Amino acid sequence: MGTVSTVVIFLSVAASAHPVSLSRSLVYVAGDEVRVTVEVFLEDLFLFHDLQPDAADYLDAATIQQGIELHRSFVADRFVIQNVAGHRLQVRQPVDVTFDIPDDGVALANLMSHKLTFELRHSLEASPEFLTFSQRFAGDEGLLPAEMQLTVKQEGGDVLHDKALVTGVPVTLRFVWDRPALTEKSSDRERAAWLALEQQKTLGLTSYGAVYSFLYIEDFEVRHEILIPLQTLQQIVTLSHDDDEFFSVAEQEAAAHLIADYFGSGNPVEIDGRHSDPVVRRCDFYGLDVKDLARRGLPQPVPWASARAGIILSYPLNAVPTHVHLQWNRFSKTLWSVNVVVFDGAGGFRKTVTRVGGNNVVEWNAGIRKGLPPLQLTPAEVIPRPVFEISAASVGLLLFAVSAFTLRTVKAGIDRRTVLAVIFLLGCAWAFRDGDLGKLAVPAGPRPSMTDAAADAVFAALHANLYASFRYRSESDVYDALAFSISGDVLQATYLKIIEGLKMEEQGGAVARVRKVEILHGARSELTGQPRANGLSAGFEYRCRWNVSGTVEHWGHLHTRTNQFEADFCVESVGGNWKVTDIDIVDNQRVHFSTDVRALAETVETSL
């Protein structure tokens, strides 16, 4: 009944009273406290606290004082500041109020001519990195719209924020204390350097209320990554939650399925003219204290007002894409546009898609693009024995001479005529050694072993195939590619060893994309064992030291790591082709790790 009477009185004076709660909040953030000055019109006391005017439509001094006391608690309760963990900053009491109450009160028609100032003070244990601001001045019923202008200033710096704070739409700001803040006297160069470092510190995700959309186009995968605040997501997907301040782990698990279904069935993607259905790789939830979204931590409750959901949709491919078509259709009543950033091997571009005007399509074309060279087997060629060539006539005379000498010796012993005859035949054999009547190849020694240069070439080809196999995205395709250079007996073990070497523990065990492989040193040794039945040598062993550089890239930034390995390889002929039949890794160490903030024209790199 109180609410109804308030509305009736409000309608009776609609010609003179403003139908919207208008206020302004001035926030000053210091290292040890936050001071807030909230300016409201006297009308708010009348609207929200059911103050009763007298017969002359006046609010007398006592009624106004009653409204002030009620509004102290109203402002302290409904202007909310939360820290990085989502906990609310408590207001130090009492709340100071500045207002000179006229002795004869104020007429309802003049309520908008009077302002009151409420001063809130919040103590801090440490200088805050993040603060989230929200207001609920519209009341629990939400019958009256409430517009608040929020101005935030950091100690020693310029105004950080000066925009409307809409009911139910929190604003999160980051505060920098480890370097001088920007001021009106800061030069353009100082501002550019400050902002560049700020982008690096935040890994490029500088807005905590924006929706981010990243489209990655790689050789055998297209990946769409969406980062969206829970407050925005709630407008398009019903997220059930009981606590006004936190989103529990159980609620996150239930929401993940809804979010995956919503985005998995929307924002359709066509690749090379064919519709492609995504595989939902991840749906995670992040608080403000998580800067590196690529690294997955243990599930934990996140602040409802400032948390974000991250969705990764993967489109695995069997071939290198040449054309990608993305249609953004997952808008909402407040989400009218989204900046989509496209990254490919050549750089990329940015496009803003909108809800209206038919401007919701992103197109990518490869142009003239060379396909990746196919993997090939490495034939195990027979190494020929050294031979001595001699004419067939010489061989015949030689054999006749030896036979005659042997026969004569056995029958009657050696005499002078026999010796002369053998010498004559041997002379003829020598004379006809280069004859044109045909030649015979006579082995001149044992089969030589493979040269070091040949072994280096064989191993280099096999080693290159190992890592080239991991350009494919599906496990079955990787196995098929590995079979070009790995014996089936050790195929699975080799796959697991290489995958383990590509995992980035810094990124929660994510498997890196191979970007560069460099052999630093290699040396062969003979493989012990018997020759093969086809006459080939059993193979060789090879000790190799090499570097592998790989990247994990998500959300517009990438992590690059270079590891150095040393291993013993066993290389043998299998089915007429050289293959690795065993790998023993003897050393593995990280030699480089860096984080790059991806930009379309340049990257900002910082070693960690």
| Residue 216: pLDDT over 80 | yes
Per-position DSSP letters for 126-161, written without gaps between them: S--SEEEEEE-TT-SS--S-EEEEEEEEETTS-EEE
Average pLDDT for 87-107: 91
Average pLDDT value for residue range 428-437? 54
What pLDDT does residue 97 have? 94
117 — pLDDT class (breaks 50, 70, 90):
very high
Q: Would you state the pLDDT for residue 489?
A: 77
- Is 244 strand, coil or helix? coil
Q: Are 335 and 211 in contact (CB under 8 A)?
A: yes
Amino acid 561: pLDDT:
83
| Spacing of C-alpha 581 from chain mean position | 35
Mean pLDDT score, 89-110:
91
Residue 163's pLDDT band (cuts 50, 70, 90): very high
| Contact (Cβ atoms closer than 8 angstroms) between residue 384 and residue 443 | no
Selected residue with higher pLDDT from 534 and 259 = 259
Least confident of 58-72, 109-123, 456-470, 554-568: 554-568
Average pLDDT of span 99-116: 90
Which of residues 409 and 606 earns the better pLDDT score?
409
Lowest-pLDDT choice from 365-379, 399-413, 482-496: 399-413
Name the region of 203 (left: φ>0; alpha: ψ -120 to 50; beta: rest).
Answer: left
Residue 393 has pLDDT above 70, yes or no: no
pLDDT at 426: 56
pLDDT value for 600: 52
Tell me what pLDDT residue 277 has. 93
pLDDT of 608 higher than 50: no
**What is the pLDDT confidence band of residue 346, given thresholds at 50, 70 and 90?**
confident
Average pLDDT for the chain = 80
Given a cut of 50, whether residue 602 has pLDDT beyond it is: no
Stated pTM of the model: 0.72
User: Given the DSSP bridges, would you call strands 604-607 and 577-597 parallel, antiparallel or unpaired?
Assistant: antiparallel
Report the range of poorest mean pLDDT among 243-257, 353-367, 393-407, 552-566: 393-407
Per-residue pLDDT band for 413 (boundaries 50, 70, 90) equals low
Average of pLDDT values for 516-545? 72
Burial, 482: exposed, middle or buried (Cβ in 10 Å; 0-12, 13-18, 19+)? buried
Whether the pLDDT of residue 545 is over 90: the answer is yes
Res. 95: pLDDT tops 70: yes
Q: Percentage of residues in the chain with pLDDT exceeding 70?
A: 75
pLDDT of amino acid 557: 74
Chain-centre distance of CA 541, in angstroms? 38
Pick the closest to residue 561 from 520, 512, 509 (CA basis). Answer: 512
Name the β-bridge partners of 571: 540, 580
pLDDT exceeds cutoff 60 at 357: yes
pLDDT of residue 261: 93
- Which residues make Cβ contacts (< 8 Å) with residue 411, sequence separation at least 6? none
Element (H, E) at 524: strand 513-526
pLDDT at position 384 is 59
pLDDT of 606 over the 60 cut: no
Question: Between 376 and 308, whose confidence is greater?
Answer: 308
pLDDT-derived band at 4 (thresholds 50, 70, 90) equals very low
Residue 401 has pLDDT above 70, yes or no: no
Among 162-171, 191-200, 335-344, 561-570, the minimum mean pLDDT is found in 191-200
pLDDT at 345 over 60: yes
pLDDT greater than 70 at residue 369: no
What local confidence, expressed as pLDDT, does residue 82 receive? Answer: 95
Alpha-carbon span 538 to 526, nearest angstrom: 9
3-state secondary structure of 518: strand
85-89 CB contacts, 8 Å cutoff, 24+ apart: 85/287, 85/289, 85/303, 86/132, 86/245, 86/246, 86/287, 86/301, 86/302, 86/303, 86/304, 86/305, 86/306, 86/307, 87/245, 88/245, 89/34, 89/122, 89/123, 89/124, 89/131
Tokens representing residue 120 in the block: 């809130």
For residue 379, what is the DSSP state?
Answer: B
Distance in angstroms (rounded) separating the CA atoms of residues 455 and 449: 10
Give the 3-state secondary structure of residue 237: coil
Residue 416 has pLDDT above 80, yes or no: no
What digits encode the pLDDT tens for the residues 39-50?
999 999 988 888
Angstrom CA distances, 120 to 80, 92, 171, stand at: 11, 7, 18
Q: What pLDDT was estimated at residue 259?
A: 94
Q: Which whole-number Å values give the CA distances from 163 to 29, 136, 166, 360, in the listed order?
A: 17, 16, 9, 27
pLDDT of residue 16: 41
* Per-residue pLDDT band at 201 (split at 50, 70, 90): low
Lowest mean pLDDT among 4-18, 135-149, 219-233: 4-18
Task: With cut-offs at 50, 70 and 90, classify the pLDDT of residue 17.
Answer: very low
Query: What pLDDT shows up at residue 80?
Result: 95
- φ and ψ at 466, to 5 degrees? -55, -50
Nearest to 164 by CA among 24, 355, 264: 24
Instruction: Write the pLDDT tens digit of every residue in 242-265.
Output: 877 899 999 999 999 999 999 999
pLDDT for residue 265: 92
Tokens (6 digits) for 188: 């353009």
> pLDDT class for 24, splitting at 50, 70, 90?
very high
Contact 605, 593 (CB under 8 A): no
